[in-house]
Amino acid sequence: MRPEKTFLIEEAKSHLKKSEYFFLTDYKGIDAKETTELRSKLAERGAEFHVVKNSSIRLAADANVVESLDAELKGHTAIIVGGDDATGVAKALSDYFKSKNKVSVKGGALGERTLSAADIKQLATLPGIEQLRAQLLSLLNTPASSLVTLLSAPARGMVTVLKAKADKE
């Protein structure tokens, strides 16, 4: 294998190792300014946008994933990787593509599971990791708040009775 091809495959492997997921997109039709804008939106989420040759992805990715995504590895392909929050990245990607109306998501993978374009759109509708953390903290805090309210009810009742008695006199 030529050194240039080996370098491209190793580069694709290094991109794929950055996260447990990757999304494939068709980037045909966006210019350099729009690509820079997309990269900055993804960077806010800790993700990266890389143009990669289809053959490099085929050789660098897991064989089972590649077999499922083979139909998507045609034409102009870019890969999006990185960031801890796959739903947030999918949401940013979806919002960007809706606003530009030029390019589309082809598919991707999350761990060992392949994702279709419809799966990634559905992933974009899920709450982000920060929202899920807030919901979890709220659930954990609710019993404690209820307990404090329950324990303070008798004392509050006694104060109310004493205040009513004092007001009456």
pLDDT tens track for 110-142:
888 888 888 888 888 888 777 878 888 888 877
Are 86 and 136 contained in the same domain?
A: no
Mark whether 151 and 168 lie in a shared domain: yes
pTM of the model: 0.70
Indicate if 91 and 158 belong to the same structural domain.
Answer: no
pLDDT at 149: 78
Same domain as 141, residue 116: no
pLDDT, residue 20, reads: 87
pLDDT on residue 34:
86
Do 79 and 11 have their domain in common? yes
The domain in which residue 56 lies consists of 3-126
User: For residue 6, what pLDDT is reported?
Assistant: 84
Spatial neighbors of 139 by CB under 8 A, at least 6 apart, are none
User: Into how many domains does the chain fold?
Assistant: 2
150 shares a domain with 92: no
What integer pLDDT is reported at residue 16 of this predicted model?
A: 82
Q: Which residue ranges of the chain lie beneath pLDDT 50?
A: none
Same domain for 12 and 93? yes
Do residues 146 and 122 share a domain?
A: no
Q: Are 132 and 118 in the same domain? A: no
SS (HEC) of the chain: CCHHHHHHHHHHHHHHCCCCEEEEEECCCCCHHHHHHHHHHHHCCCEEEEECCHHHHHHHCCHHHHHHHHHHCCCCCEEEEECCCHHHHHHHHHHHHHHHCCCEEEEEEECCEEEEHHHHHHHHHCCCHHHHHHHHHHHHHHHHHHHHHHHHHHHHHHHHHHHHHHHHC
- In this structure, are 119 and 139 located in the same domain? no
